[in-house]
Amino acid sequence: MKFNTKTIHGGQKPEEATGAVMPPVFLTSTFAQSSPGKHKGYAYARGTNPTRTALENSLASIENGTHGFAFSSGMAAIDCVLRLLKPGDEIIAGNDLYGGTYRMFTQLFQKYGLEFTYVDTDEIVNITNAITEKTKLVWLETPTNPLMKIADIAAISVAVKDINSAILIAVDNTFATPYLQQPLTLGADIVMHSATKYLGGHSDLIMGALMVKEETLAKEIHFIQFAAGAIAAPMDSFLALRGIKTLHIRMQRHCENGRAVASFLENHAKVGQVYFPGLENHRGHKIAKKQMKDFGGMVSFKLKDESIEATFKFLENTKLFTLAESLGGVESLVNHPATMSHGSIPEKERLKIGITNSLVRLSVGIEDIEDLLADLEQALNA
Ligand code: PLP
């Protein structure tokens, strides 16, 4: 099956009892057994639930994996990956990460003896130079949130595995989605999503996902998820599965609108730097062109007037772009990373990597582009 077909049919079959084309929402915590341990494949819903199974089969299919896992949030999915490790293990992570990921690494897992090294992942040598005998995991985001940096997944996978094939490569694929890039096919071991974003696509659920292509890893992840219990609920699983079925057509419009917004901002007299991998002057443009089908709907930028007053004035005056956390829904959102999505990163660290108080992040939705550009124009002139 090709990708667009997979979003609709991948891992799906009509429900056996009734032929329902969409899986029923199995709101049950437990399943009848005919004799102890004898059941129809489902025993207790923390372990498996048929609605979640339908979603997990779809998740595996769209990322070219063999197994998918749906979690109660994106953070719960990342937490599960880190639980594959033990105290003393080292992780190399990108230095531009979603703020919550950085907070989890620095404020939670460092406490349990995991060691993190943060590097600029747009240069492979920064990663390979940081590898030690204790390195067990490389954690990549690409494009990064919010600076839209690009990491070369295929080249990094080869370079890291050449040094030690046991090091796991995990990619947070939230910004790109499998419509644009499929990290497992590019050599990564684990793909992670905040399914809250583009996979769900309608800003109506919180969910995380992991996809893998290797049996032992899948067994370990299933064990951690079952033992720790951070599972996606049945209704959310249904909504996410429904969202995935239109992922490809939503992404086409997100990409189209994203390109138009980036080009509008780049040519606007009041706008300074624009961060969008589709722009030819973007540092990661060539790699993005190679590993992504298009460039997505996330665009960050700074005003020429970098004062906090001018930035807040813009943020307070958009009308269609709603000022809110999150991204990847059908509606356009605007975000102020320094105080919102990345507010948990200490100011000194934030400024070091370029998340200044003047940075604005747009999640460009699938509305009519003329309306979106008019909204940006009026807010820039407010
Ligand atoms: N990864 C990225 C790139 C994100 O943007 C987010 C949330 O914004 C997360 C992970 C965390 O996901 P969730 O909010 O679903 O827990």
Of 6, 52, 79, 98, the active-site residue reads 98
**Protein residue whose Cα sits closest to atom 8 of ligand 1:** 326
Closest CA to 341 of 114, 178, 175, 118: 175
Determine whether 283 is an active site residue: no
Instruction: Collect all residues with Cβ–Cβ distance below 8 Å to 167 and sequence separation of at least 6.
Output: 131, 135, 136, 137, 138, 160, 161
With a Cβ cut-off of 6 Å, ligand 1 is lined by 73-75, 98, 100-101, 141, 145, 172, 174, 194, 196, 206, 208
Instruction: Collect all residues with Cβ–Cβ distance below 8 Å to 27 and sequence separation of at least 6.
Output: 234, 235
pLDDT number for residue 87: 97
**Distance from the alpha carbon of residue 194 to the mean position of ligand 1, in angstroms:** 5
Of 122, 152, 172, 189, the active-site residue reads 172
Of 46, 161, 283, 290, the active-site residue reads 46
Determine whether 89 is an active site residue: no
pLDDT in tens, 33-62: 999 999 999 999 999 999 999 999 999 999
**Distance from the alpha carbon of residue 149 to the mean position of ligand 1, in angstroms:** 17
In the chain, which residues have pLDDT < 50? none
Apex 102 CA angle, 350 and 190, nearest 5? 135
pLDDT number for residue 290: 97
Q: Ligand 1 pocket: which of 174, 190, 206 to mutate (most atoms <8 Å of CB)? A: 174
Q: Which two tokens stand for residue 75?
A: 């953070």
**Protein residue whose Cα sits closest to atom 15 of ligand 1:** 74
Which amino acid is located at 89 in the chain? Answer: D
Determine whether 172 is an active site residue: yes
pLDDT number for residue 238: 98
